[in-house]
Amino acid sequence: MSPPARIALFRWKAVIPLGLFLILIVALWLLFADRLGRMALEKGGTAALGAKVQVDRFHIALTQGQVIIGGMTVASPFDSLKNLFQADELVADIAILPLLERKVVIDQLKASGLRFSTARTSSGIVPSKGPSATSQIMANTRSWAAQPALQVPVLQLAAGKLSIDSLDPRNLRTVHDAQALVTRADSSRQAWVAAEQGLDVKGTADSARAFAARLQKASATDFALINDARRTLDQVKQTRDRLTALQRNVTQGTKALQQDVAGLEDARQRDYAFARSLVKLPPIDATSLGWVLFGPAAVEKFQRAIHYTQLARHYMPAGMLPHEDPAPKRVRMAGTNVRFPQEHALPRFLLREAQLSFFLGAQPQAYAGTLRGLTSDPALYGRPTTLDATATGIQAGALFDHVHPLSRDTAGGVVQHVALPDLRLPSLGIRLSPGSGQTGGGTVAFGFSLVGDSLRGRWSVSTAQAEWVRDSGGGPSGQAASLVWQVVSGIHQLDLTAELSGTLTAPRLNVHSNLDRAVAERVQALVGDQVKAADARVRAQVDAAVNEQVAKAKSQVAGLAADAASRLGAQQGQLDQAQKAIEDQLARLTHGIRLP
């Protein structure tokens, strides 16, 4: 039998096909790299922003270490028919070696022909398919803007009689609170009575008095009886101590109930506000009117700032811990990609410096700015991301400091003598043009900072050439809109300031302008009496609905406090009397000498 033939380990003739296969891969890459790069940029950008990112041309010139992007359009995630920005051309000088680590390091980027807030013909907002960080951030931002503290009352001058037929007492907080208070008072009464019965003060006092009567017939040598008298006296004292403790509890309990009674007045005030909101009584004071006129625009401005800041915090996280991101979708399950930043290593993405050339205004003038240190791993880069643009009539800057665990994001800018975007007052169907560049324009300043979750922001518009325009789209045309229009259409000076403070969860926004008082005076003159009368009726209806319950609660608490005080006082008296009776007899028998 011949030994089995030896099988060669390698198949050398396959080297040539393998080489051809590798050449084919390289050729395919050369053919499709630009297309794949464009698709990756569009897909990644769209996913990151939640709005369409479109690129007309994309070319990778690997030998020159350059990527050239032409005709880039980034839609706004807030305005469906507006772009966030458009760029004529972006030329990026890319470091080649970091690509072997799947890291993109752009040493220099030249962005030319940037235009902001340009119009688009189709919606650029991309609805989220499934949960994503971007959609979550957008949802969070929307719920931030929907907080009660940022809700703007509607300026609606109701015609005719203002009625609040829809006021349902069951919806009034005061009624709920008063009923709950009555229940608590009942429970307290029962608990105290039970505790009082547990003490058996009357039994103890009666027993002690009976013993004192026995002691009257006893002699000084009747030691057993004297000892029993002392034990009885101790029992009386212990009962009195427990009674004192109960009295303390009762006092604290009645105090708490009385505080709740006082709280009913706060609830009543809230119910007044609730009832006013049902009839939509127009605000008539200047402070509220500033908020009504420009509040929505201010909230929108700050909402956008918060959104972009939160996006920056997500995609540029602080710290050096492994960071998890959903992987790009593919036919198979995508899984998640985990980043492992390492000290002194390059970040996954780094744009060292970008020279920005942009246009502002309807009659574009060229401006320049610089962006530095945009990175996915700020802790690795070790320096904050900065943006600055300074030119005639414009001064803007931003700083995103995610190097340390506490993120600090600041952005601000002042634009002067430039035709500015219109300021819309949608609830009134009025649009304000802050003035065109030809006539000197206006000054718009915006400042925003988010340190941790502490907010601070300021938005101001100042112009002496304000032009008011009624929306042609048939916006609100009610009495309120007409009234505001009559007031503001003749005023060309506008000084508007909105200030934001507080935290993300508890923001405070204050909006005021030179128009507030003028509008308030007209509103008061027109409907002031009617509003005041309606306000009085609202209060009367609320009072009628809650007074009975409030009175019942007050009387219950007052009665409980008085009753408890008198009952416990009487019992205290009984114990005092019994104690005195025994002590008197003991003193008589022992002549003041304390026997063992």
Partner 1 sequence: MILLKLLQSLFNTLHSEGTPGQVAAGMALGAFLGLTPLPNLHNLVVFALILLLNVSFGGAMLGWALATPLGFLLDPVFHRIGRVLLLETPALTPLWTRLYNTPVIPLTNFNNTVVLGSVVFTCAAFVPLYLLARVGVDRYRVHVAPKVMQSGVYRAITASKLYNLYRLFKPQ
Candidate segments 17-25, 72-80, 355-363, 560-568, binder of partner 1 by CB under 8 A: 17-25
Q: Does residue 180 touch partner 1 according to CB under 8 A?
A: no
Contact 355, 109 (CB under 8 A): yes
Q: Are 107 and 353 in contact (CB under 8 A)?
A: yes
Q: Is residue 23 close enough to count as binding partner 1 by CB under 8 A?
A: no
Binding of partner 1 at residue 31 (CB under 8 A)?
A: no
Listed in sequence order, the residues at least 6 apart from 294 whose beta carbon sits closer than 8 Å to its beta carbon are: 423, 425, 496, 498, 511, 513
340 touches partner 1 (CB under 8 A): yes
**101 touches partner 1 (CB under 8 A):** yes
Residue 63, burial from CB neighbour count under 10 angstroms (0-12, 13-18, 19+): exposed
Listed residue (75, 94, 83, 86) closest to 37, CA to CA: 94
Q: Which of residues 125-154 bind partner 1 (CB under 8 A)?
A: none
Three-state secondary structure call for residue 256? helix
594 lines the binding site for partner 1 (CB under 8 A): no
Rounded CA gap, 185 and 183, in Å?
5
Q: Is 570 in the site for partner 1 (CB under 8 A)?
A: no
The number of residues making up the chain comes to 596
Question: From the CB of 450, what's the least distance to partner 1, in Å?
Answer: 28
φ, ψ at 516 (rounded to 5°): -55, -50
* Angstrom distance (rounded) from CA 51 to CA 53: 7
Residue 262 touching partner 1 (CB under 8 A): no
- Check if the beta carbon of residue 124 is closer than 8 Å to that of residue 80: yes
Based on CB atoms, which residue is closest to partner 1, 273 or 327?
A: 327
- The residue assigned the tokens 């609730």 is 274
Q: Please pick, from the candidates 3, 13, 161, 170, the single residue that binds partner 1 as defined by CB under 8 A.
A: 13
Task: Give the nearest distance from C-beta 312 to partner 1 in angstroms.
Answer: 23
Q: How does DSSP classify residue 82?
A: B
From residue 273 to residue 312, what is the string marking binding to partner 1 with x (rule CB under 8 A)?
A: ----------------------------------------
**Is position 591 an interface residue for partner 1 (rule: CB under 8 A)?**
no
Identify which of residues 28 and 61 has a Cβ nearer to partner 1 in the complex. Answer: 28
Whole-angstrom distance, CA of residue 222 vs CA of residue 228: 10
Nearest-approach distance from CB 22 to partner 1, in angstroms: 8
Q: Exactly one of 333, 405, 591, 592 binds partner 1 (CB under 8 A); which one?
A: 333
With CB under 8 A as the contact rule, the residue among 63, 122, 342, 472 that binds partner 1 is 342
The CB-of-100 to partner 1 minimum distance in angstroms stands at 4
CB of 315 to partner 1, least distance (A): 17
Half-sphere exposure of 400 (CA within 13 A, CB side): 25
CA distance 496 to 292: 13
Would you count residue 345 as binding partner 1 (CB under 8 A)? yes
Report DSSP letters for 257-307, one per residue.
Answer: HHHHHHHHHHHHHHHHHHHHHHHTPPP-SHHHHHHHHHHHHHHHHHHHHHH
The one segment of 15-23, 151-159, 180-188, 198-206 that binds partner 1 by CB under 8 A: 15-23
Complex with partner 1: residue 96 or 159, whichever CB lies closer: 96
Closest CA to 37 of 63, 57, 18: 57
Q: Which residues bind partner 1 (CB under 8 A)?
A: 7-15, 17-18, 21, 25, 97, 100-103, 322, 324, 327, 330, 332-342, 345-346
